[in-house]
A and B are shown apart, each in its own frame.
Chain A
Amino acid sequence: MSFLELYSLLLALVVGIVATILGLYGFVRVMGSARGEPGKDVPASSGVLSRDPVWGRYHARYYGYALLFLAFDMEMAFMYPWAVVYKEVGLVALYDMGVFLAILFLGLLYGWSQGALRRQ
């Protein structure tokens, strides 16, 4: 199968699943929708009715890790094609990528020493 055919098949699969689920929703709706009663739509918080919204500026404590993650994610984008041609190219490929990995690894070590790798 050609490239386009494969992806259209996958797209058709996605559309099919979404359609099935929507059909299921519709079928359930026919059986009767949820009855609106006082207090029912408040998010459950263990027996206490708290209607206050919670959306806000969330204190994510892993931002140190997140910055390093960006660097490594870019590295992985380069490693996929490298992995495919690795055996063909031989030892030189190992050296090239080894240097790249070593530089990033040094970055990881630096981040670790500066206290990036902990719960902030």
Chain B
Amino acid sequence: MTVAIVLLALLGSAWLLAVIEGWMATGRLSPAAPLFRGLAHLGRESIVPRSPDRVFFEAAPVLLLVVAVLGMAVLPLAPDLIIADLGTGALFVNAALAYVLVAVIMAGWGPDGAYGMIGGWRFLGQLIAYSMLIVMPITAVAMRAESLVNTAIVGSQAGLWNIVYQPLGFVLFYIAAMALAFRAPFDLPSAEGELGGGVDAEYTGVRLAVLRLARLTLVVTLASATTVFYLGGWHGPLLPPWAWSLIKTLAVAVSMLLVGHYLPRIREADLMRWCWVLGIPLALLNIIIVGLLILVVP
């Protein structure tokens, strides 16, 4: 039962994001457009490129969708609305999202096309940049909650949300989450203007539908993770807990889309340099500050 509700919430949020994405691109709000688009993708031909790495080519969209759903499965919508409340929930989110790299590299390498391959390898560089910035803030969050259980992490924010307690961690995690979902301004692997579509380019038909769905659900999962780790999960007055979770998740996801709309793409060399020279020292500083705060403030 919980499984059905969570999956439905995930699909619904992905649909809403698609509608908003379409609104930003065309200026028209059309709720039925993503559904028609998905159906049209199903109806089109699914072309397989010549001499692909068949395993990689087929596995990439499927793996991306599985990863996004697995990540969502361990994040709570409400105290009792979580598919699997693992003892190492926060770590599992990170572990599942690590496979996004595998999926993107497979999508790039599989079709044996130049644009995609370059996109895939660029994403590896992006991972090296953002990976620490995802893990270190999660550690700081776990320090405050004294546990890796996601529901306990939300519980620890009952009095004060983590965004106020550790704002530095929030900023770093937010930026790294956008880089993980390879959305603008970090959309190097699927850049339109640089790589003619990149890793997305060689997929058509039903595989493209699965890939697009996977990318949208990945954004929702990351927004949900941001909500759980930093925005106090389901805490909030008046409305039921699941409503607050959904509102916060959608707010974060839409903000990610907006940021991407108004910023140019960042160069990979710049991204890596700023993450390593600026980001990691800041993340370490964040851990130390949080450590001191925990000991000092009762």
Q: Which residue numbers of A lie inside 8 Å of B, CB to CB?
A: 1, 3, 6-7, 9-10, 13-14, 17-18, 21, 24-25, 27-28, 31-35, 40-46, 50-51, 53-55, 58, 60-62, 65-66, 68-69, 72-73, 76, 79-80, 83-88, 90-91, 93-94, 97-98, 101, 105, 108, 112, 117-119
Interchain residue pairs with CB less than 8 A apart (27): A6-B84, A10-B70, A10-B83, A17-B65, A18-B62, A27-B42, A28-B46, A41-B49, A45-B114, A51-B50, A53-B112, A62-B268, A65-B272, A69-B131, A76-B136, A76-B139, A80-B91, A83-B143, A85-B146, A86-B143, A91-B295, A94-B295, A101-B284, A108-B280, A112-B276, A118-B269, A119-B268
Q: Which of B47, B85, B124 contacts A40 (CB 8 A)?
A: B47
Q: Which residue of B lies closest to A50 (CB)?
A: B114
Q: Which of B91, B113, B210, B276 contacts A44 (CB 8 A)?
A: B113
Chain B residues 28-73 with CB under 8 Å of chain A are 42-43, 45-51, 62, 65-66, 69-70, 73
Given contacts A9-B84, A94-B295, A105-B284, A86 and B146 within 8 Å (CB-CB)? yes
What's the count of A-B pairs with C-beta under 8 Å? 179
Q: Which of B66, B114, B276 contacts A65 (CB 8 A)?
A: B276
Q: Which residue numbers of B lie inside 8 Å of A, CB to CB?
A: 3, 42-43, 45-51, 62, 65-66, 69-70, 73-74, 83-88, 91, 109, 111-118, 121, 124-125, 128-129, 131-132, 135-136, 139-140, 142-143, 146-148, 196-197, 201-202, 205-206, 210, 268-269, 272-273, 276-277, 280-281, 284, 287-288, 291-292, 294-295
Q: Which residue of A lies closest to B111 (CB)?
A: A43
Which of A7, A9, A86 is most buried by chain B, counting CB atoms within 10 A of its CB?
A86
Query: Would you call A34 and B47 a contact (CB within 8 A)?
Result: yes
Residues of B contacting A40 with CB < 8 Å? 47
- In the complex, what distance in Å separates the CA atom of A118 from the CA atom of B42? 44
Q: Shortest beta-carbon distance, A104 to chain B, in Å?
A: 8
Q: Shortest beta-carbon distance, A73 to chain B, in Å?
A: 7
Query: Would you call A88 and B196 a contact (CB within 8 A)?
Result: no
Given contacts A83-B142, A94-B292, A34 and B46 within 8 Å (CB-CB)? yes
Given contacts A6-B85, A79-B139, A13 and B3 within 8 Å (CB-CB)? yes
Q: Which 3 A-B pairs have the closest CB atoms?
A: A43-B113, A119-B269, A34-B45
Q: Which of A46, A54, A73 contacts B131 (CB 8 A)?
A: A73
- In the complex, what distance in Å separates the CA atom of A55 from the CA atom of B113? 8
Query: Would you call A34 and B48 a contact (CB within 8 A)?
Result: yes
Residues of A contacting B287 with CB < 8 Å? 79, 101
Query: Would you call B42 and A28 a contact (CB within 8 A)?
Result: yes
Query: Would you call B280 and A94 a contact (CB within 8 A)?
Result: no
Q: Shortest beta-carbon distance, A120 to chain B, in Å?
A: 10
Residues of B contacting A58 with CB < 8 Å? 117-118, 121
Residues of B contacting A50 with CB < 8 Å? 114
Q: Which of A18, A41, A69 contacts B132 (CB 8 A)?
A: A69
Residues of B contacting A117 with CB < 8 Å? 272-273, 276-277
Given contacts A91-B295, A108-B280, A66 and B128 within 8 Å (CB-CB)? yes
Residues of B contacting A91 with CB < 8 Å? 295
- In the complex, what distance in Å separates the CA atom of A76 from the CA atom of B283? 12
- In the complex, what distance in Å separates the CA atom of A80 from the CA atom of B92? 11
Query: Would you call A60 and B124 a contact (CB within 8 A)?
Result: yes
Residues of B contacting A84 with CB < 8 Å? 142, 146-148
- In the complex, what distance in Å separates the CA atom of A100 from the CA atom of B6? 40
Residues of B contacting A18 with CB < 8 Å? 62, 66
Q: Which of B86, B112, B124 contacts A54 (CB 8 A)?
A: B112
Q: Give 9 A-B pairs besides A28-B46, A66-B128, A84-B148 with Cβ atoms closer than 8 angstroms.
A: A6-B85, A21-B62, A31-B42, A44-B201, A45-B196, A61-B269, A80-B88, A112-B277, A119-B269
